[in-house]
Amino acid sequence: MNAADPEPSRVDGLLAEMTVPEKVGQLIQYFHFDLPAGASTDGGPEFDAAAQPRGAEAALDRGGAGALLFVSDPAAVNRLQARAIEGNRLGIPVLFGFDVIHGLRTIMPVPLALAASWDAGLIERAQSVAAAEARAVGIHWAFAPMVDIARDPRWGRMVEGAGEDPYLGGVVAAAQVRGLQGAGVGAGSGRILAGPKHFAAYGAALGGRDYDEADVSEQELWNVYLPPFKAAIDAGAANIMSAYMPLNGVPATGNRWLLTDVLREALGFDGFVVSDANAVRDLATHHFADGLDDAGVRALGAGVDLEMAIADPAFDRLVAAVESGEVPIERVDASVRRILGAKERLGLFDRPYVDEDRARTVLADPSHRAVAREAAARSAVLLRNEGALLPLAAQDGGSIAVIGPLADSRRDTLGPWVFDFDLDETVTILEGIRDRAGDGAEVSYARGIAEPGRLFPSMFEMFAGGGPAAEEDFDEDAEFARAVAAAAAADVAIVVLGEQQDKIGEGASRSSLAFPGRQQELLEAVVATGTPVVLLVMSGRPLDLVWAAGSVPAIFQVWYPGTQGGAAVADLLFGDADPGGRLPFTWPRSVGQVPIHYAATRSHDPKNRHRRYWDDPSSPLFPFGFGLSYASFEYGPLTVDRDTIALDGTVHVSVDIANVSDRAGTETAQLYLHQRSGSSARPLRLLKGFRRVRLDAGQSATVTFPVGPDERRYWSTAAREWVLEPGAFDVWVGADAATGPGAEFSVSR
């Protein structure tokens, strides 16, 4: 059954009856914010929050809207859906989309954290929870997953993706699509449409500056940025969102080569394409289109089916363009057919309304919190554990000092890009530690410093309510001294530092990777007390840990761990859960190394003398794929089952892994491949597979990976096509991208 047209008879029947204005109306998605009392409305004419709901509802009344976004209250969904159906001559319902990025009511760890679990099954379960909650309140479609590859941590939106690697990114993208869509998205399914974004190469923004242009080579586009989209499409993604920025000089939303030749023809996508917010109008902003009339025509012609518009949609002007003959009605019909097909696939023509009583039951499901807790525990990455400081021993009669402005911040624990959360359900790190330590230990808390927050809310917080609270008046120097004194008096100090959630995400790029504010100063003062210190880093990008990596005995990257984050972190600290997270990116020593990633080609100097900085090593602080466990593992020699294979053949690579510790743990064995020669110079290592292996104390297991044509194929700049070439190959299986000795094999013609 085709995702774009599941029921041709109904869809074609409606299409045959529709007028041109009714067809064009189906191609527009309006924002509809339910504004809280006192919300700001001074965002300018483009973001006039007071006028915006009226414009959307007026469009519903005249049958001129195909979709709405930013509505999550089931009563409001039903009210607006009734208005849409009554306002449309043919009774066509609207789609409701929403930013369900890492949960709706139950907030999972941020997407970058989920990717750090290297666990496709877990990611799928997490997104199935998000889908169930979203569908229960009347949301039909998520603007997720974000599958943009991010190799510059200055870019704030890396928190929404899966990191730097196209193979891992593809695994994560497919798992998210399966979790959101399941086996079907019909009425009663508890599933929603997935919308991978942003097509394409949005993560390559120059300087890590959000919305800035991207200029990437052909080989980089095909080998790095497109594979996660291909994986999402192969998993059945129903929607793709076009990107804001110009790609190689042509804005993505008006790029016919990108949206038609590549997306539909090369990648085989048959769903509908939506623009990012106001991206069609922005074609004029880019000095690409000659005004909004031209912008609408060029976006539709490029392959955009649905315009996401904050106000005054460019697509409104398509009626005149059809009447003048500038736009063929067949092109409009193709897009309308895709939108109507999505609505039929969701069962909206037969069951357009949501059960408000059932919504409350689904949102309160305790099993959802259990998944969130498991996901947060599996996502955290143990970066350092000198002297086996962790896990913490039972604290009978002991004392723990919890320090830092993020340790007891419910909103920051959830992370960015969530809008329908319940703060009362959120477990902070301080609360998790106190609950786990129980009455037998003394747990003190000191913020240490003021929160280094922004002084204004983000655009989404302005419209949806919330935003940073005003900082209370307190003496920071006195609080700093109190925190240091608490650490000095404790048996162990747990310091929680990082970035507040409003300092990352869309429009939140940074020129520095340093801890904001006085956090580094606070950390150094606590370490100077001589008390053993555990550093918990709450962020969605790598921060500057050079000093900490040499001075702090235990470091955990806990990301923004979500609703059950504090409970999960306590599970890890006290050994109730074993660290299993692995880095989905290369951790730089400083911002001066950026961009840095493991899949680099060799320079002209094999010893890399001309790639070194005179003031810093060229190596990363932590390699891609790195992560420690409380257990210890050893890898045996790598073996291949054949020395030589044919061009279409497959070699099997095996290694024995032993747990040489006295406790159970999970190791993530990673397969890396290198092609020594070919029509293009190939990266020295490329991830081509991984396995999570659970081993009891003293247990061993053999892990085997196939290396066949799919693992060896790549897009060659010289050949201008996908190639499969003979030659010699190196292969490794180990704990990260810097893993040791491997093996080799040859491919013959």
The DSSP call for residue 243 is: P
Q: What are the structure tokens assigned to 701, written together?
A: 């297991």
Contact 593, 581 (CB under 8 A): no
How many angstroms separate the CA atoms of 63 and 30, rounded?
13
- Largest alpha-carbon pair distance within the chain? 83
Task: Report in angstroms the alpha-carbon separations of 197 from 110, 243, 466, 540, 672.
Answer: 16, 7, 26, 18, 27
How many angstroms separate the CA atoms of 450 and 516, rounded?
11
Determine which one of 5, 276, 412, 420 is catalytic. 276
Q: What are phi and psi of 731, to 5 degrees?
A: -140, 145
How many angstroms separate the CA atoms of 643 and 361, rounded?
59
How many angstroms separate the CA atoms of 62 and 59, rounded?
5
Q: What are phi and psi of 717, to 5 degrees?
A: -65, -40
DSSP string, 208-232: G-TT--B---HHHIIIIISHHHHHH
Contact 440, 396 (CB under 8 A): yes
- Which ranges constitute the DSSP H helices of 145-242? 166-181, 218-220, 227-234
How many angstroms separate the CA atoms of 203 and 336, rounded?
30
Structure-token match 């790609």, residue found: 247
Among 667, 105, 168, 691, which residue's Cα sits nearest to residue 372? Answer: 105
Is residue 544 part of the annotated active site? The answer reads no
Cis peptide leading into 584, omega within 30 of 0? no
How many angstroms separate the CA atoms of 347 and 344, rounded?
5
Angle at CA of residue 731, ends 727 and 734, nearest 5°: 170
Q: What are the residue numbers of the active site?
A: 276
